[in-house]
Amino acid sequence: MLVLKEFKEFAMRGNVMDLAVGVIIGAAFGKIVTSLVEDVLMPPIGQLVGKVDFAGLFINLGGRHFDSLTAAKAATPPGPTLNYGIFINNVINFLIVAFVVFLVVQQMNRLTKKPAPAVVPTTKDCPQCAMTIPIAAKRCGHCTAQLV
């Protein structure tokens, strides 16, 4: 029972809950970015470079000929393929996510207040007469006491 109690205390701490929310939102955001890459960005890029569907680009590693990646996967047994088009989509997906995370962190850093630098004192009080004197003074200008 003690282990369950400790686990409950651990799980209910603020940091763990914040992390859980972040992971859930990150997964949902990842799906949005994946859709943006596959459904919005890649079709026009494919049209610009010669009407290419990147998701369908592959190298057949087997002896049989396949016209498409779908046909290679549907074959019995499935044909071995090197799916470099899907890899290109994933690289673009990663670059977009990394750029968006960079922009979010940059804006958060801009919005958070930075602490003011600590002010270095330029004066101190004389131990004899309690008058304010420069910090580098060797002798008090008011009472002429020798300073250490």
Spell out the per-residue pLDDT of the chain, length 148, in tens.
788 888 887 777 767 778 888 899 888 888 888 888 778 887 888 888 887 777 788 888 877 777 777 777 777 777 788 888 889 888 887 888 788 788 888 988 888 878 888 889 999 999 889 999 999 999 998 888 888 7
Q: What is the CA radius of gyration of the chain?
A: 33
Domain count for the chain, please give it: 2
pLDDT confidence of residue 89: 82
Q: Which domain holds residue 148?
A: 118-148
Do 110 and 122 share a domain, yes or no?
no
Do 58 and 125 share a domain, yes or no?
no
* CATH code, domain carrying 50: 1.10.1200.120
What's this model's pTM, rounded to 2 decimal places? Answer: 0.54
Let me know: does 28 contact 22? Beta carbons within 8 Å.
no
Residue with tokens 């602490």: 115
Rounded to a whole number of angstroms, the distance between the first and last alpha carbons of the chain is 64
Cβ-in-10-Å burial (0-12, 13-18, 19+) of 40 comes to exposed
pLDDT confidence of residue 42: 79
As separate numbers, helices (DSSP H) first and strands (DSSP E) second, the chain gives 5, 4
